[in-house]
Amino acid sequence: MNKEEIYNFCENISKKKNVEFIYYSGKRASITFEKFDVTKGTNIESTALYIRVIVDGQTGCYTITEINESNILNGINKARNIAKLKNDIRIKDFGDAKPKTHINYDTKIKKIDFISLIPEVKQQLTKEKYITSYEGNLNKMDTYEFYMNPHTKKEEETTHVALGVNVITKDVKPSNASYSDVFTRAEDIDIKKTFNQAKYDANLLLNPKSGKEGEYTLIFTPDVFADLLYGLIIPGTTGEMIEKKESYLHSFVGKKVFSEKLTINEEPHLDNFTNSCALDDEGFITKKKTIFDAGVFETPIYDQYNATKYNKKITGNGFRVGSTISCNHTNLIQLSGHESIDDIITKTKKGIIVYSLLGMHTNKITTGDFSLIIGAGKEIKDGKFINTITNLRFTGNIINTLKDIYFSEDQKFYGNGLFSFGIIPKVKLV
């Protein structure tokens, strides 16, 4: 069955049999570069149909990749049998919101012939002083998705190009630096710029040595701040974590928890953002929300299950991840500061600009405690870069740590987010 046949078949039986469908079809073309050459090519396509039913208020789901009429009907029966085994809270019905927002995506990027980008990548793999090797990938991802239930439906089609570059260097000691970019508009694709940033960082981070214990101003690159955000803050903002008291944020709803400089909004309707959507994967309207407003934790998010269980409003954040629905944000936009990163570095007396943190997945969301290692950083003394450092411990509790954080005006685009450099004064490192 092609996608039109699948769509028509699902539309026909969705109402008749009271079934929800999420169809996903993705195509990824990619190249790998190693050392100074483009060495491997990959073309991948995948499709999946997620089938969900409600029987006596209980949901049951089944996912198939071999999509034909018989397998869809068998999947519906299987999902019904699964629903009958459940004894959880009762869901009334699928969402019935009608999408009102139209999200625009660049149409030119879809038309780019991926292999035409290969010579440009090869051109950037230059043999320069200290560079011993490159490794990385360039990907073009085309996705098509439809959601439908008996009351509503949506279709989405997006394309993005992603480039990740790791530059491996050696002067006296070996070192490396990585940089990546996501492009959602054809006119923004700038392979040279991404490579140049990776090469610049690699040159800056030559000859790492163990850092010295002391008190520093820490400057996190947007990549590292995004790691901290998704590792230690965002997972604790879901309604389920709050209600179960499994997040250190559970007692801070509506209260100030971080610096007043920290404001993060969820914006699901932005043009050319990869996670934009008018409806979530449960048929509910997505809305702009302030997650943190000047350090105050404003909005936990709830999918249909958790909203029903804890008697809260559905926030339109139920999204399919693999073969289940879970509660997730769409695009996250962090409000930038007013000072450029260059000015901030110039004013720094004793600091470290942190390019990588190791151990992010060892964090504990229940308490907010963390114990991380600076994998690569550049020491700053009186506004000037001095040593490259590694293996310096950054430990503590995220609430105390982010009480004075502020941000640069410079921001980086991640496809589904915008983040700044984050600056924390007076951090004790060991």
Partner 1 sequence: MKQKYITNTDISTHLDNIKSYLDTKDIEYYDIRLERSKKTGIVVDKDKVRTIGDNETTGVGIRIYKNKKIGFCSTTNLNNYKKIIDECIRTTEKLTKKTKMNNFASNKATIKYKHKNFDDVSLEKKVNELIKINKEVINDANSDYKILQSEIRYKEEYTEKYFVNPWSYIYQDAPYVMIYSFMTGKKNGFIETNLNRLCKKEGLEAVGIENKIKLLVENKKILGKLLVSKPCPAINSDILLDPEVVGLLAHEAIGHPCEADAKLVNATILKRKGIVLTKNKEVTIVDDPTVIGFGHMVYDDEGIKSKPTTLIKNGVVNDYMTNIETASIENTKSNGSARAENFACSPIVRMSNTFFLPGKDKHKDMLTDFSGYYLKGFAGGMVDPSIGTFMFGIKQAIKYKTGEIVGEFKQASISGNILTYLNNVTKIGNLQNIEGAGFCGKNNQIVYVGDGGPFLKINNVMIGGTKHE
Within 120-179, the residues that bind partner 1 by CB under 8 A are 122, 132-135, 166, 168, 170, 173-176
| Minimum gap (Å) between residue 127 Cβ and partner 1 | 13
Residue 283 or 375 having the CB closest to partner 1: 375
Question: Can you tell me the distance from the alpha carbon of 121 to that of 32, in angstroms, rounded to the nearest whole number?
Answer: 10
How many residues lie near partner 1 (CB under 8 A)? 83
Q: Is 39 in the site for partner 1 (CB under 8 A)?
A: yes
Residue 112 or 360 having the CB closest to partner 1: 360
Half-sphere exposure of 330 (CA within 13 A, CB side): 28
Contacts of 36 (CB under 8 A, 6+ apart): 125, 126, 127, 133, 134
Q: Which of residues 335-374 bind partner 1 (CB under 8 A)?
A: 356, 358-362, 364-367, 369-373
Residue 51 or 97 having the CB closest to partner 1: 51
Question: Can you tell me the distance from the alpha carbon of 321 to that of 256, in angstroms, rounded to the nearest whole number?
Answer: 31
Contact (Cβ atoms closer than 8 angstroms) between residue 56 and residue 89: no
DSSP 353-387: EEEEEE-GGG--TTT-EEEEEEEEEEEEETTEEEE
| The one among 5, 12, 15, 37 contacting partner 1 by CB under 8 A | 37
Residue 393 or 403 having the CB closest to partner 1: 393
| Minimum gap (Å) between residue 272 Cβ and partner 1 | 24
Q: Which of residues 280-299 bind partner 1 (CB under 8 A)?
A: none
Question: Can you tell me the distance from the alpha carbon of 43 to that of 173, in angstroms, rounded to the nearest whole number?
Answer: 37
Which residue from 412, 399, 368, 396 is spatially nearest to 220, judged by alpha carbons? 412
| Minimum gap (Å) between residue 381 Cβ and partner 1 | 22
Q: Is 324 in the site for partner 1 (CB under 8 A)?
A: yes
Q: Which of residues 390-419 bind partner 1 (CB under 8 A)?
A: 390-391, 393, 395-397
Residue 75 or 417 having the CB closest to partner 1: 75
DSSP 314-334: --S-EEEETTEEEE--S-EEE
Q: Which of residues 184-243 bind partner 1 (CB under 8 A)?
A: 208, 210
| Minimum gap (Å) between residue 337 Cβ and partner 1 | 28
Question: Can you tell me the distance from the alpha carbon of 398 to that of 411, in angstroms, rounded to the nearest whole number?
Answer: 22
Q: Which of residues 253-272 bind partner 1 (CB under 8 A)?
A: none
| The one among 90, 108, 192, 245 contacting partner 1 by CB under 8 A | 245
| The one among 99, 222, 316, 375 contacting partner 1 by CB under 8 A | 375
Question: Can you tell me the distance from the alpha carbon of 15 to that of 35, in angstroms, rounded to the nearest whole number?
Answer: 55
Residue 24 or 284 having the CB closest to partner 1: 24
Which residue from 242, 248, 329, 260 is spatially nearest to 296, judged by alpha carbons? 260
Question: Can you tell me the distance from the alpha carbon of 103 to that of 316, in angstroms, rounded to the nearest whole number?
Answer: 16
| The one among 15, 40, 212, 426 contacting partner 1 by CB under 8 A | 40
Question: Can you tell me the distance from the alpha carbon of 30 to that of 7, in angstroms, rounded to the nearest whole number?
Answer: 28
| Minimum gap (Å) between residue 426 Cβ and partner 1 | 13
Question: Can you tell me the distance from the alpha carbon of 381 to that of 384, in angstroms, rounded to the nearest whole number?
Answer: 5
Of 30-38, 270-278, 281-289, 334-342, the segment contacting partner 1 by CB under 8 A is 30-38
Which residue from 20, 71, 90 is spatially nearest to 325, judged by alpha carbons? 20
CA torsion sign, 116 to 119 to 122 to 128? Answer: negative
| Minimum gap (Å) between residue 24 Cβ and partner 1 | 10
| Minimum gap (Å) between residue 336 Cβ and partner 1 | 29
| Minimum gap (Å) between residue 130 Cβ and partner 1 | 11
| The one among 5, 8, 12, 46 contacting partner 1 by CB under 8 A | 46
| Minimum gap (Å) between residue 128 Cβ and partner 1 | 14
Contacts of 265 (CB under 8 A, 6+ apart): 288, 289, 290, 291, 332, 333, 335
Q: Which of residues 72-111 bind partner 1 (CB under 8 A)?
A: 74-75, 78, 81-82, 85-89
Q: Is 15 in the site for partner 1 (CB under 8 A)?
A: no
Question: Can you tell me the distance from the alpha carbon of 380 to that of 217, in angstroms, rounded to the nearest whole number?
Answer: 9
Residue 31 or 219 having the CB closest to partner 1: 31
Q: Is 34 in the site for partner 1 (CB under 8 A)?
A: yes
| The one among 8, 96, 115, 342 contacting partner 1 by CB under 8 A | 115
Q: Is 274 in the site for partner 1 (CB under 8 A)?
A: no
Q: Which amino acid does the sequence have at 225?
A: F
Residue 48 or 103 having the CB closest to partner 1: 48
